[in-house]
Structure 1
Amino acid sequence: MCSHLVFKRAIYYSFFSPPQCHCQYLLRFPLSTKTQPKELPFIADYLISSFGFSLNRALKASADSHLTTIKSPAQPEAMVKFLTDTGLSHSQIKSVVSLQPALLGYNADEILRSKVREMMEKGIPGEVLVQLFRYNPVVLQLQDTLARLLFWRDFVENKDKVLLKVISRNPFLISLHIENHILPRLNLLKEYGLSNNRHMVACLVTNYGLTNKHMVWVIGHCNLDHLRQILDLVEELGIRRGSKKFLSGLIAIANLSICKIKSNVEFFKNTYGWSQEEVCAAFRKYPLVLRLSEEHVRSTMNFLMSKVGIEARNIALRPLLLGCSIEKLIPRYNVLNTLKSKGLKKRCRLQLACLASEKRFREKYVMPFEKQVPGLSEAYEADVAAFGGKVPVSRNRP
């Protein structure tokens, strides 16, 4: 019975019942509906005290079938000891348990020790195993973990340091089934001349997140029919199959729909008068041009055409400019324009200036001219701040 109904009925009886009935009724229906807190499962308390889990996370983890039967610290501490013996630091073990708390419920003697021993016998270095525990501990639950590791070690030409980078930067790649996911896609790529594993490995270990993410998607997740259509489209857009640029073109547009890619092509044609050849020329030089948002392209093209004075068709020959943000373009253009107006630098290529790192740009275009143009550095920093960029660190000054 709801508490507010109980309260109303109690009030009713207080007026229309004999006094002796009042206490009896109130005792039968207490006003408080709060329940006593349940005792925490042992493993939930252990996760909170030993690994800093929140109450909600600990309770959710404790419901895992591998953890529900744990009633003492013996089992989880045995696993922690095993992880320590494998070579993981305390912080790494904490990271592993945070990612995969169910690992504490596994029998280190019967399952994991035998797997680790077998991997080491096959030449898988301990460092690789540490990274597996740290970045993707769930893979150790798979029956064919060793076969997957051997495949990827062969893929990177038995270079353990490269294998370490592949695992650490793509932690779930090794979870993908080799026969069902990886090989069909790699075989299709070979049909289009992409048989050099080194180029693909370079994409897997690069620090550039977009390239890394899209390479994993291409070889592990992309629908085969879609992948074939994308490969054909890359060729139609002017990049010869088997060339070094072909993989870059594929990665740039692989996760876009065919309709979206064709829509982007038509956008450049209809809005800026680019021909099919000019679109292809831009794509060959800068494949990411076809995944830029219309809003970004409009603002950048407007600045380049109206302020810098570059014709729309000439921008197709320098498409890297479209990849630059307005926050970088405007301050750097202003510096180059100042130097040119004062005759201090006759040839100022905006594209080269915008591709330079912040440090390199200041060293080449700002610092050498601060005496001839007093306040140049301050004006540049003010422009960067005004357009939402990061203000350069002043210690770079001579």
Structure 2
Amino acid sequence: MIYAYTKSLAVRFRWSCFSDSTIHNKLFALQTHHPLSPSLKSISTSTNQHSFTVNYLINTCGFTPQTAISVSKKINFKTLDKPDSVLNFFKNHGFNQTQISTVIRKHPELLRYDPNKKLLPKFDFFYSTGISCTDLVHIASSCPTILTHSLKNQIIPSYNLLMSFFHSNDKFMAAFKRFPGIVGRDHNAMTFPNIEILRQHVTTRPRSFMLKPDRFNEVMEDVKKMGFNPSKFQFVKAVQALRSMSKSTWKKKMEVYEKWGLSEEETMLAFTRQPGCMRISEEKITAVLNFCVNTMGWQSSVIAHRPTLMTLGLGKRIILRCSVLEVLLSKGLIKKPISLRALLVSTESMFLHKFVTCYEEAPQLLKLYQEKLELSKSHGHDYGSKSGTYQR
């Protein structure tokens, strides 16, 4: 009877996200040391502690059992003093439950920290640079690795080195917001040698520098050979594209374009006009060209002259707007040829003005457009399945 009561008590007792650690410890003792629980007696102390950690992660961080078990393999604790204080620290600094769960899932070792010694000084330092509480919460939840770096040995030295380059706190903050990991790199060994190579090239994309100098210089030379002008911003975009993939991946993407009828010269022309057309996956290349060629009846060579089409969302932009075009054509309200730039590349307001609201049928067209827009948002993939098919 006592064991049944104990089990019932444990089931009914709901831990809050930031409940008192003494109550947690009492419940833990009740679950693992009751003299009338033979099955629990046979479990080792380490197993009890692991189960305790799993239960804690489920009840405080909202993890599924599977996620909690996975995370618990990276951390274990006997008491709740530090975990509770860490969770309370994040809550008091404006993190919501989802953000806290994300941080702990990525870096569960933070639960072993003394927040007053290892977290608060870092937050105070970042605040001193001028970053807002809201921005810091967003950055720390998207890149919690910055919270694991040593303030004295990594973060402050990185900040000082970067300030010697940017000469402006505003520029540092802009770079930090784009790529928070910038404070966790060895800039003397990696970043600054690359900056030296790029001394004549201005860029606001700090991630471009995060590459070993030899590889970075090789990418630079390859981009020059492709005909990009180092004094133009397009040069930087091409560097970013090449550094993001291996040579074998580049070759595979070139082959995909070739399968759809583009010559090597046409593909390279598209790349020089829009380097982003080579940054997308092989899957998306296939999906977009499949729709353009097989559904819309366009020549694949159109990509060489309008490569920006490859970087647009298939479901949320291309298919959606083409469905409006099909209605206009079927009703004889518009005639070919149509400017693909106006149809697909223009802003939302410009598209609606030119292809929707200017017609008497505007209410029906707008309703169709909004319905398909909502439908596209409800789909998990923007450009269809891995086979290259698409959702209408």
TM superposition score category, shorter chain reference: 0.5 to 0.7
Match in the other structure for 1:205: none
**Cα drift, residue 263 of structure 1:** 4.7
Please tell me whether residue 180 in structure 1 is matched to residue 189 in structure 2: yes
Q: How does 1:1-398 map to 2 (within 5 A)?
A: 35-36=42-43, 38=45, 40=49, 44=53, 51-52=60-61, 56=69, 59-60=72-73, 62-63=75-76, 73=81, 88-89=93-94, 91=96, 94=100, 100-103=107-110, 105-106=112-113, 119=125, 124-125=129-130, 127=132, 135=144, 136-140=146-150, 143-160=153-170, 163-164=172-173, 166-190=175-199, 193-194=200-201, 196-197=202-203, 199-200=204-205, 216=207, 218-220=208-210, 222-265=211-254, 268=257, 272=261, 274=263, 276=265, 278-293=266-281, 296-298=284-286, 300-301=288-289, 303-305=291-293, 310-324=298-312, 326-327=314-315, 328-336=317-325, 339=328, 342=332, 348-358=338-348, 360-371=350-361, 375-377=364-366, 389-390=376-377
Partner AA of 1:287 in structure 2: P
List per-residue Cα deviations over 1:71-113 (Å, max 9, x = no partner).
683x6677788879xx723648956666555446556677777
Partner AA of 1:185 in structure 2: N
Structure 1 residues 126, 270: CA separation in 2 closer, same or farther (over 3 Å shift)?
Answer: closer
List per-residue Cα deviations over 1:133-184 (Å, max 9, x = no partner).
6632102366232111223345554234x64554455343322222223223
Partner AA of 2:215 in structure 1: H
Moved more, 130-139 or 34-43: 34-43
Structure 1 residues 200, 163: CA separation in 2 closer, same or farther (over 3 Å shift)?
Answer: same
Mapped contact 1:234–1:246 kept (Cα < 8 A): yes
Mapped contact 2:54–2:69 kept (Cα < 8 A): no
Structure 1 residues 152, 376: CA separation in 2 closer, same or farther (over 3 Å shift)?
Answer: same
Alignment gaps of 5+ in structure 1: 1-30, 202-215, 392-398
Q: In the aligned structure 2, how far is the partner of 1:320 from the partner of 1:172? A: 29
Mapped contact 1:88–1:130 kept (Cα < 8 A): no
Q: In the aligned structure 2, how far is the partner of 1:120 from the partner of 1:326? A: 39
The structure that has the greater radius of gyration is 1
Partner AA of 1:280 in structure 2: M
Q: In the aligned structure 1, how far is the partner of 2:126 from the partner of 2:313? A: 49
Partner AA of 1:319 in structure 2: P
RMSD: 4.8
> Counterpart of 1:281 in 2: which secondary structure?
helix
**Cα drift, residue 274 of structure 1:** 3.0
> Counterpart of 2:356 in 1: which secondary structure?
helix
Greater relative contact order, per chain length (Cα 8 Å cut-off, separation 6+): 2
Mapped contact 1:332–1:353 kept (Cα < 8 A): yes
Mapped contact 2:254–2:264 kept (Cα < 8 A): no
Q: In the aligned structure 2, how far is the partner of 1:265 from the partner of 1:114? A: 49
**Cα drift, residue 349 of structure 1:** 1.1
Alignment gaps of 5+ in structure 2: 1-37, 379-392
Partner AA of 2:129 in structure 1: I
**Cα drift, residue 287 of structure 1:** 0.9
TM-score normalised by length of structure 1: 0.61
Structure 1 residues 83, 267: CA separation in 2 closer, same or farther (over 3 Å shift)?
Answer: closer
The percentage of aligned residue pairs carrying the same residue is: 19
- Equivalences, count: 326
